[in-house]
Amino acid sequence: MLELWELAGRDDVRFSTFSWRTRMALCHKGLNFNAHPVAVSDKQAIAFSGQTKVPIVKASDRVICDSWEIAVFLEREFPDRPSLFGGAAGEQLAYFFNLWTDREIVPGLVPYLMFDVLDCVDEPDQRHLRGQIEGIFNKPLEELYSEREKALQLLGKKLAPVRKMLVRAPFLGGVAPAYADYILFGTLQWARVVSEVQVFAPDDALSDWFSRLLDLYGGVGRSERARGERNREAAE
Ligand SMILES: N[C@@H](CCC(=O)N[C@@H](CS)C(=O)NCC(=O)O)C(=O)O
């Protein structure tokens, strides 16, 4: 049995953008796993891994950190299961997409929804996340928040090539999903889980694609309730 460590917030909300990539990769391979929730500031819980971030996967005595390294490990370790990359060239291109998403998409979205994230976690995690994001961007969260509309518009433009790809096929992987789909899905799933902000309009091709991703593997993505659903439930 494989083990996965991922972030959890208040009420066990699973909001880790990188861990969603790994969750989907594990489901793609049809592998069973035990998921361990970790609070973002609880570094003791993951000290065994020798570093401070999730996702972490443990397979027997092996500990693998970093979502990309985990995807590569799963592909090598379980070659008879459905492929995440579709061969060596596919793996290279997926790596490029991983780098592009981490550098262009994650920083264009994550800091701007940070106030929404702070509502989903307890006080020590709020302090940790505020300090971390303000350190990286060298700005107070309040200033990042004031730039949010502009950032979301820019993000919409950056996603234009993805939209264009989805005219050709239902998934970035083609007729079936591949790891590239999970890379982008993880980021947008993070936004869905922490915030009510609409990253794309309902008539956007990305919306249909995202819905398809939420439905995969028995609806594992959809079973994590959206912030909007949780808010409506709390108001009833
Ligand atoms: N490059 C890493 C990034 C991992 C990462 O930043 N994980 C976040 C959660 S989404 C984390 O553990 N943050 C806690 C912290 O930075 O203290 C990957 O792809 O797995």
- Each of the 236 residues of the chain gets a pLDDT tens digit; together they read 899 999 999 999 999 999 999 999 999 999 999 999 999 999 999 999 999 999 999 999 999 999 999 999 999 999 999 999 999 999 999 999 999 999 999 999 999 999 999 999 999 999 999 999 999 999 999 999 999 999 999 999 999 999 999 999 999 999 999 999 999 999 999 999 999 999 999 999 999 999 999 999 999 999 999 999 999 999 99
| Residue 119: Cβ-neighbour burial (10 angstroms; 0-12, 13-18, 19+) | middle
Q: pLDDT at position 74, please? A: 98
Spatial separation of the C-alpha atoms in residues 33 and 22, rounded to whole Å: 11
Q: What is the pLDDT of residue 94?
A: 98
Q: Which of 6, 13, 15, 18 to mutate to test the pocket of ligand 1 (most atoms within 8 A of CB)?
A: 18
Q: Which helix H or strand E contains 63, and what residues bound it? A: strand 62-65
Q: Residue 87: what residue type? A: G
Which residues does 108 contact at the CB level (< 8 Å), separation at least 6?
151, 154, 155, 158
> In angstroms, how far is CA 4 from the centroid of its own chain?
14
CA dihedral angle for residue 157, residue 134, residue 131, residue 113, rounded to 10 degrees: -30
Tokens of 28: 């793609």
What is the number of the ligand 1 atom nearest to the C-alpha of 66? 20
Cα torsion 83, 84, 87, 89 to 10°: value is 170
User: Does the beta carbon of 172 lie inside 6 Å of ligand 1?
Assistant: no
Rounded Cα–Cα distance for residues 119 and 190 (Å): 14
Predicted local confidence at residue 1, as pLDDT: 87
CA of 175 to the centre of ligand 1 (A): 30
**Pocket test residue of 51, 53, 99, 128 for ligand 1, highest count of atoms within 8 A of CB:** 53
Return d(Cα 18, Cα 7) in angstroms, integer.
10
User: What is the whole-number distance in angstroms between the Cα of residue 117 and the centre of ligand 1?
Assistant: 15
Give CA–CA dist 204/84, Å, rounded.
26
Using only C-alpha atoms, what is the Rg of the chain?
Answer: 17
Residue 104, ligand 1, Cβ within 6 A: no
17, 54, 182: residue to mutate for ligand 1 pocket, most atoms within 8 A of CB? 54
- pTM above the 0.85 mark? yes
Continuous segment of H or E residues that includes residue 34: strand 33-38
Q: What distance in angstroms lies between residue 203's CA and the mean position of ligand 1's atoms?
A: 31
Strands (E), the chain: 2-7, 33-38, 56-59, 62-65
- Residue 54 CB less than 6 A away from ligand 1: yes
Q: What spacing in Å lies between the alpha carbon of 24 and ligand 1's midpoint? A: 16
- Measured between alpha carbons, how far is 63 from 132 in angstroms, rounded to an integer? 25
